[in-house]
Amino acid sequence: MKLERIQTIQRLPISVEGAWDFFTSPQNLSLITPPWLDFRLSISPPEYMHPGTIYGAQIRPFPGISMQIVTEFSHIRAPSLFITQQRVGPFKIWHHEHHFREHKEGVEIEDIVLYGVPFGIVGTFLHDLVIRKRLHEIFTYRARALEQRFGAMNRPKPAPQKIPVSAPSTKAAPNKGALKQSYPPKKQAAKPTPSNAPSEQRTITLDDIFGGTPDE
């Protein structure tokens, strides 16, 4: 038989003692159980819990299917831990640890469940098909019901994001009346020399070419 595990942690803005009193009273289970499960106590426990205390309940895990469960408080260490175990019910093993720890803003509640399903391969197939999903729905509903009843722990708000703002430009606005200049600037064409102007004639010497006079 394979053992499955469920572990949840929830923080509530109440005291450890207040959480302990609420969770150790099976009468409160109907307040945090999904309505479709139709949870009803059939064996009422005594007012004060002690190791060995049992209670019974009737549930409907699926439409048209009713089951009787019997649960025992096997271990109690007030106000930090109690353990409940199924004695009669749909699971082959159901071991549920309830931990309560003081938190700076209230109480931290941790649930650790070890369970196993019967019927071998068929049970494993049903677990993967629907049982795991049902258990997830039950614990999700419980967490929301507890927040609605006691309030949610304050969560840190995300820091506001800084939006970069560009500095105002110090450049003067362009003058709309100014003439546009192309880049690179165009070279101005040389003015043609009038044809009637006398041209200067110059004889090119060896000094112009070699930078000196030839040896004689």
As a whole number of angstroms, the distance between CA 169 and CA 102 comes to 57
User: 23 with 114: CB under 8 angstroms?
Assistant: no
Please list the pLDDT of the chain residue by residue as tens digits (216 residues).
Answer: 899 999 999 999 999 999 999 999 999 999 999 999 999 999 988 888 899 999 999 999 988 999 999 999 999 999 999 999 999 999 999 999 999 999 999 999 999 999 999 999 999 999 999 999 999 999 999 999 999 999 998 654 444 555 455 555 555 555 554 444 544 555 555 555 554 544 454 544 445 444 554 444
Q: pTM higher than 0.85, yes or no?
A: no
As a whole number of angstroms, the distance between CA 18 and CA 34 comes to 22
Return the structure tokens found at 121.
């391969």
As a whole number of angstroms, the distance between CA 14 and CA 18 comes to 6
As a whole number of angstroms, the distance between CA 135 and CA 170 comes to 66
Burial class (CB in 10 A: 0-12, 13-18, 19+), 200: exposed
For CA atoms 24, 93, 77, 44, the dihedral sign is positive
Angle at 126 between CA 122 and CA 131, to 5 degrees: 145
User: 158 with 55: CB under 8 angstroms?
Assistant: no
As a whole number of angstroms, the distance between CA 21 and CA 47 comes to 11
Quote the distance between the C-alpha of residue 122 and its chain's center.
Answer: 35
Other CB atoms within 10 Å distance of the CB of residue 128 = 11
Which residue segments constitute the domains of the chain, with CATH numbers given? Answer: 4-34+74-150 (3.30.530.20)
